[in-house]
Amino acid sequence: MTAMPNQPGARKLYLALGAPTVLVGLLVRFHGDWMGGAARDVTGDALWAMMMACWVSAIAPRQRSIARCAAALTICFAVETSQLWHAPVLEYARSNRLGQLVFGSGFDPRDFAAYALGVLVFVLLDRRLTAPVADTLHL
């Protein structure tokens, strides 16, 4: 399951990382009451950012890790910032569970740190999973 970002299997690797991230995120969101409110919120937001990094990486696996992670953080920060606006179209999008999962429901500056944590965890996993191939190719 190891692949370098510029190898054909990289897209599958990032999708394979993203799938359990989504699953764990949904479990935390809907069954994480035992964690306590703040821990559940931070964990869920970090997992959401990690999922975003997986998706961005699956879309653009040939881009450098720093570019993929910057794009993921930009998306996360943009979605969080959009929660400051209450335009009718955004409120309508947030009026159902799927919309809340995608667009959030309320601005919280603490979420920016949680997103950075999630992307950091992605970077560590990405380096761990892609390093064996890079080492064998002497890159």
Q: Is residue 48 part of a domain?
A: yes
Q: What is the mean pLDDT of the chain?
A: 86
Residue 112: pLDDT band with limits 50, 70, 90: very high
Domain that holds residue 45: 10-136
Q: Is residue 2 part of a domain?
A: no
The conformation of residue 85, written as its DSSP 8-state character, comes to: -
- Summarize the confidence of residues 12-37 as an average pLDDT: 90
Q: Is residue 68 part of a domain?
A: yes
pLDDT in tens, 67-109: 999 999 999 999 999 889 888 988 888 888 888 878 878 899 9
Q: Domain tally for the chain?
A: 1
Q: Where does residue 17 rank: exposed (0-12), middle (13-18), buried (19+ CB within 10 A)?
A: buried
Structure tokens at 23: 């699953």
pLDDT in tens, 11-23: 898 999 999 999 9
